[in-house]
């Protein structure tokens, strides 16, 4: 004969304690601070290399558009006038002109950087020209994000780029063969991008030529 059934009580349901809000907030703050510290550390570690690369790119572009000058002077735009005195704070946004000379000390032109919208994004150029006449010595593309195979031909199409040395600003973009010293033939299929180059050059020369001429008349030291 079996004995009385043994009743085993069920265990009480587990009590799940909720995480206090302050602990969640603290976790988010700590994680955010760690991520921020990591980003800043990486930025600071890579900044010298980035700045060095940018300076090398500018130097190479100056040599390109001024046809390998023997030397060049750097002028800074301060309070609306050019000066050879380096400002206390100089960065990538400081407007500068690079005046190149041949081995005999004769000035061969000035190089300046300018950027304006192209078809896609900003197009940044290094532009070389003679401040006395407005004649160009050439241009070099520092940065562009134009359509591959079309707009990016402003950098790779030598039939287009070789038109500029000797042309006199302000330029006019035309679809036919150039007939005057200030005309350049635009790129078929990349009219907007090639006209952007013309516009950037015209605006840059119009801005910088009077500044350089004023410096020649009695430049600051």
Backbone angles phi, psi at 77, to 5 degrees: -90, 110
The DSSP result for 45-65, as a single string, is: HHHHHHHHHHHHHHHHHHHHH
Q: Are 137 and 67 in contact (CB under 8 A)?
A: yes
What is the per-residue pLDDT for 5? 57
Which distant-in-sequence residues (6+ apart) come within 8 Å of 147 by Cβ?
Answer: 119, 120, 190, 193
pLDDT tops 70 at residue 6 = no
What is the per-residue pLDDT for 90? 79
142: part of which helix (H) or strand (E)? strand 136-143
Please give the residue that has the higher pLDDT: either 217 or 14. Answer: 217
What is the per-residue pLDDT for 47? 47
Domain-wise residue ranges, the chain: 45-218
Beta bridge partners of 79: none
Taking Cα atoms as reference points, which of 165, 154, 184 lies closest to residue 127?
Answer: 165
Residues 201-220 have a mean pLDDT of 91
Reported as a pLDDT band with limits 50, 70 and 90, residue 23 is confident
pLDDT tops 50 at residue 167 = yes
pLDDT in tens, 84-98: 999 888 777 889 999
For residue 74, CA distances in Å to 111, 142, 177, 217 come to 10, 18, 37, 17
Q: What is the dihedral of CA 23, 28, 29, 35, to 10 degrees?
A: 150
Reported as a pLDDT band with limits 50, 70 and 90, residue 221 is very low
pTM of the model: 0.75
Distance, CA of 117 to CA of 203 (rounded, Å): 12
The three-point CA angle 122-160-138 to 5° equals: 75
Distance, CA of 181 to CA of 166 (rounded, Å): 8
pLDDT in tens, 98-116: 999 999 999 999 999 999 9
What is the per-residue pLDDT for 38? 74
């Amino acid at each position: 004969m079996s004995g009385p059934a043994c009743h085993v009580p069920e265990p009480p349901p587990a009590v799940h304690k909720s995480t206090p809000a302050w602990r969640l907030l603290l976790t988010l703050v700590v994680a955010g601070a760690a991520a921020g510290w990591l980003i800043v550390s990486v930025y600071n570690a890579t900044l010298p290399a980035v700045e060095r690369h940018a300076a090398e790119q500018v130097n190479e572009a100056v040599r390109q558009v001024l046809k390998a000058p023997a030397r060049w002077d750097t002028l800074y735009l301060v309070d609306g006038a050019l000066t050879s005195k380096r400002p206390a704070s100089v960065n990538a946004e400081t407007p500068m002109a690079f005046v190149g000379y041949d081995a005999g000390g004769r000035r061969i032109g000035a190089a300046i950087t300018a950027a304006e919208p192209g078809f896609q994004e900003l197009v940044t150029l290094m532009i070389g020209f003679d401040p006395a006449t407005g004649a160009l010595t050439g241009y070099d593309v520092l940065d562009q994000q134009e359509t591959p195979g079309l707009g990016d031909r402003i950098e790779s199409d030598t039939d287009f780029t070789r038109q500029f040395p000797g042309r006199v600003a302000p330029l006019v973009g035309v679809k036919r063969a150039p007939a005057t010293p200030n005309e350049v033939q635009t790129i078929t299929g990349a009219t907007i991008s090639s006209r952007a180059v013309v516009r950037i050059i015209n605006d840059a020369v119009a801005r910088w030529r009077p500044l350089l001429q004023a410096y020649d008349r009695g430049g600051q030291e």
